[in-house]
């Protein structure tokens, strides 16, 4: 998400992270110049005990029959862990299984804000399971089945605990269905995004979702952690006249008896916080970018024209043309810098998101189509599209590695400024670096910024500075961008850590960068030599 200058919503703390609360007119200059200080006293790194990223093969979905007799001996059925042990969000995600596919059918009524859903989740057991959890906040659960047999369930906070009628063997693929419903609740007042409302937002004509890091479970049952990526299909029923725009590709749309059904499919692995299925009225423009990437842009018809100035030339475009053209330009540019575009389609969903009737400014890098509200800056589009490589395809394995998303997307803004002729990346580094050494900005440890400051401006701007400083230290753009391209290739569709990035940078550059990364990523204070 883009961190932007924020105007306050009543009762919020002002500057927010990716889900920044801004008035429509306030968005334009994204993070340029010296930002407000942020508090934080991160120290120490948590070494996550997880296996390295695997790049799943692209293939049609295959049902694997349960396997038996692999030398497992007698089953030892145990409950799966309630979380994946993330240092910042220990209960997000769930242990004991790996989700493969979510088939999310739901209807939504803008007049009552009610959602009625049927989630069909295919998963593979990674241990012998007597019981397992999904994450689900607030909504009511009517019934659960496992492999078509009714299963017992209980609720414990955000944990939906499911006990199948019989144990599930390690390696077995199983299908869970959950019938659920209610009014999804927007998360308000959480320190994680500085108090700004986020998650499921009810808009004038439908709904808008921006779920990073932990709000997907406010509208569907999910293993809500980037370590457990899956493929998604959406079947959304809305009153006729409204449209739905979700991740991936539109499969079909059907109008029947006062309802519209929209079916979308994202066949590539996706982290749960990147899921979106926005509901409302839309102007759609689709085609291909000049570089050949299929593109789908949907814009709320109430959005006004956008006037931009670049290299002294001012132009005014309709909102749909602005998002279409700038998204195409950014996606094609990033292919040159970061390697092949990782997904099937690129685009944008630009809505007029509101909370209690107040327009909200925010943007989030929802996979294939970032969501935007009150955004009029190509810089923000460039940021969210850079996340398709850094964050969406290569995801943070645990949330303490968040600078791998936001630092890289912010560095992309440095490149965008260079591309649009605003200033060079070095000049942008100098501007960011000019913050006085006494600023609280310098006290955040980028490699472990702590949960409630994980979206502090330092994670973005010092993260971006780290990459520009690395680029200048290496002194050879071929080598530097080979690091980024190797990174996006090696960890494509998987997850990664800061330690894996620093090791890769040393490997590709042939330099000893221990001191460099110690100063920039692991040590509070303003770097002076590196």
Give 1 or 275: the residue with its C-beta nearer to Zn ion. Answer: 1
> What strands lie across the sheet with 149-150, from one edge to the other?
149-150, 140-146, 173-182, 114-125, 97-109, 230-239, 259-270, 249-256
Choice between 282 and 389, CB closer to Zn ion = 389
Answer for which of 1, 151, 277, 331 binds Zn ion (CB under 5 A) is: 1
From the CB of 232, what's the least distance to Zn ion, in Å? Answer: 21
Instruction: Please state the closest distance from residue 1 (CB atom) to Zn ion, in A.
Output: 4
Q: x/- contact string, 393-432, with Zn ion (CB under 5 A)?
A: -------------x--x-----------------------
| Least separation in angstroms between CB 20 and Zn ion | 10
Instruction: Let me know: does 123 contact 103? Beta carbons within 8 Å.
Output: no
Considering only CA atoms, which of 282, 388, 263 is closest in space to residue 330? 388
Residue whose entry in the numeric block shows the structure tokens 């609280």: 440
CB 162 within 8 A of CB 149: no
Q: 514: Cβ–Cβ under 8 A, 6 or more apart, which residues?
A: 506
Q: Measured from the CB of residue 302, what is the shortest distance to Zn ion in angstroms?
A: 25
**Looking at beta carbons only, is 86 or 406 nearer to Zn ion?**
406
Q: Cβ of residue 69: shortest distance to Zn ion, in angstroms?
A: 48
H runs (alpha helix) in 359-454: 378-386, 403-419, 425-433
What is the nearest approach in angstroms of Zn ion to the Cβ of residue 402?
9
First to last CA, the chain: 29
**26: its two tokens:** 């306030």
Nearer to Zn ion, 1 or 139 (CB): 1
Is the Cα torsion angle 64, 67, 72, 78 positive or negative in sign? positive
CB neighbour class for 305 (10 Å; exposed up to 12, middle 13-18, buried from 19) = exposed
Which residues 6+ apart lie within 8 Å of 111 measured at CB? none
Query: Which residue, 146 or 467, is less far from Zn ion as judged by CB?
Result: 467
As beta bridge partners, residue 49 has none
Q: Smallest gap, in angstroms, from Cβ of residue 233 to Zn ion?
A: 26
| CA dist., res. 424 & res. 91, Å (int) | 43
**Residue 3 vs 235, nearer CB to Zn ion:** 3
CB nearer to Zn ion: pick between 17 and 91: 17
The nearer residue to Zn ion, 1 or 382, going by C-beta atoms, is 1
Tell how far CA 433 is from the center of its chain: 27
For residue 410, the minimal CB distance to Zn ion (Å) is 7
Site for Zn ion in 229-288 (CB under 5 A): none
Q: Are 255 and 236 in contact (CB under 8 A)?
A: no
* Other residues' Cβ atoms within 10 Å of the Cβ of residue 522: 18
Task: For 348, list phi and psi in degrees, rounded to 5.
Answer: -160, 150
Q: How many residues in the chain?
A: 530
Cβ proximity to Zn ion, 341 vs 516, nearer residue: 341
Compare residues 30 and 173 and give the one whose CB is closer to Zn ion: 30
Cα 333 to the chain's mean position, in Å?
A: 21
Tell me the closest approach of the beta carbon of residue 190 to Zn ion, in angstroms.
17
Give the shortest CB-122-to-Zn ion separation in angstroms: 30
Q: Compare residues 212 and 448 and give the one whose CB is closer to Zn ion.
A: 212
For residue 449, which of 466, 434, 469 has the smallest C-alpha distance?
Answer: 466
Size of the site for Zn ion (CB under 5 A): 3
The set of residues, in sequence order, having a beta carbon less than 8 Å from that of 475 and lying 6+ positions away, is none
The secondary structure of residue 493, as a DSSP letter, is T
Q: What token pair was written down for 11?
A: 């009762």
Q: Is residue 382 at the binding interface for Zn ion, with CB under 5 A as the rule? A: no
Q: How far is the CB of 368 from Zn ion (least distance, A)?
A: 16
Q: What is the DSSP letter of 444?
A: S
Q: Could you tell me where the beta strands, DSSP code E, fall in 183-229?
A: 199-202, 207-210
| C-beta closer to Zn ion: residue 135 or 406 | 406
In the Cβ-directed half-sphere of 520, how many Cα atoms lie within 13 Å?
Answer: 24
Tell the smallest beta-carbon distance from residue 387 to Zn ion (Å). 6
Which lies closer to Zn ion via its Cβ, residue 406 or residue 500? Answer: 406
**Per the structure block, which two tokens stand in for 63?**
């049902």
User: Nearest distance from residue 381's CB to Zn ion, in Å?
Assistant: 12
Residue with tokens 């986020």: 198
Which positions lie near Zn ion, rule CB under 5 A?
A: 1, 406, 409
């Amino acid at each position: 998400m883009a961190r932007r200058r924020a105007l306050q919503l009543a009762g919020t703390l002002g500057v927010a992270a990716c889900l920044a609360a801004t008035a429509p007119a306030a968005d334009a200059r994204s993070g340029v110049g010296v930002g407000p200080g942020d508090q934080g006293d991160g120290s120490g790194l948590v070494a996550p005990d997880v296996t390295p990223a695997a790049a799943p093969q692209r293939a049609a979905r295959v049902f694997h029959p349960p396997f038996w007799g692999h030398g497992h001996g007698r089953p030892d059925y145990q409950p799966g862990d309630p979380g994946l042990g993330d240092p910042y969000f220990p209960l997000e995600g769930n242990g004991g299984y790996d989700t493969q596919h979510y088939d999310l059918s739901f209807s939504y009524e803008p007049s009552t804000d009610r959602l009625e859903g049927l989630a069909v989740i295919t998963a593979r057991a990674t241990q012998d399971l007597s019981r397992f959890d999904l994450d689900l906040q607030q909504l009511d659960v009517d019934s659960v089945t496992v492999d078509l047999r009714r299963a017992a369930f209980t609720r414990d906070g955000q944990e939906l605990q499911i006990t199948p009628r019989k144990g599930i063997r390690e390696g077995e693929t199983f299908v869970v269905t959950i019938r659920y419903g209610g009014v999804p609740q927007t998360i308000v007042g959480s320190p994680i995004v500085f108090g700004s409302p986020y998650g499921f937002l009810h808009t004038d004509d439908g709904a808008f979702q921006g779920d990073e890091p932990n709000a997907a479970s406010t509208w569907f049952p999910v293993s809500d952690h980037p370590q457990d990526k899956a493929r998604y299909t959406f079947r959304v029923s809305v009153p006729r006249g409204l449209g739905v725009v979700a991740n991936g590709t539109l499969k079909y749309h059907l109008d029947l008896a006062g309802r519209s059904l929209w079916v979308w499919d994202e066949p590539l692995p996706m982290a749960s916080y990147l899921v979106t299925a926005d509901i409302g009225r839309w102007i759609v423009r689709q085609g291909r970018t000049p570089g050949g990437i299929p593109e789908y842009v949907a814009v709320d018809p109430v959005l006004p024209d956008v006037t931009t100035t670049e290299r002294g030339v001012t132009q005014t475009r309709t909102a749909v043309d602005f998002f279409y053209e700038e998204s195409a330009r950014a996606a094609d540019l990033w292919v040159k810098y970061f390697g092949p575009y990782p997904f099937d389609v690129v685009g944008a969903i630009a809505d007029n998101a509101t909370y209690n009737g107040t327009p909200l400014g925010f943007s989030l890098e929802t996979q294939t189509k970032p969501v935007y509200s009150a955004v009029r800056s190509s810089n923000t589009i460039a940021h969210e599209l850079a996340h398709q490589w850094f964050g969406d395809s290569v995801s943070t394995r645990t949330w303490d590695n968040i600078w791998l998303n936001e630092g890289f997307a912010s560095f992309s803004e440095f490149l965008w400024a260079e591309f649009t002729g605003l200033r060079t990346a070095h000049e942008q580094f100098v501007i960011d670096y000019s913050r006085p050494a006494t600023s609280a900005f310098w006290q955040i440890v980028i490699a472990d910024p702590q949960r409630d400051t994980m979206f502090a401006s330092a994670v973005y701007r010092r993260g971006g500075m780290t990459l520009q400083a690395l680029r200048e230290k290496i002194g050879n753009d071929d080598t530097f961008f080979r690091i980024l391209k190797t990174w996006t290739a090696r960890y494509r569709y998987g997850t990664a850590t800061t330690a894996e990035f620093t090791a890769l940078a040393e490997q590709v550059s042939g330099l000893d960068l221990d001191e460099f990364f110690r100063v920039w990523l692991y040590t509070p204070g303003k770097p002076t030599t590196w």
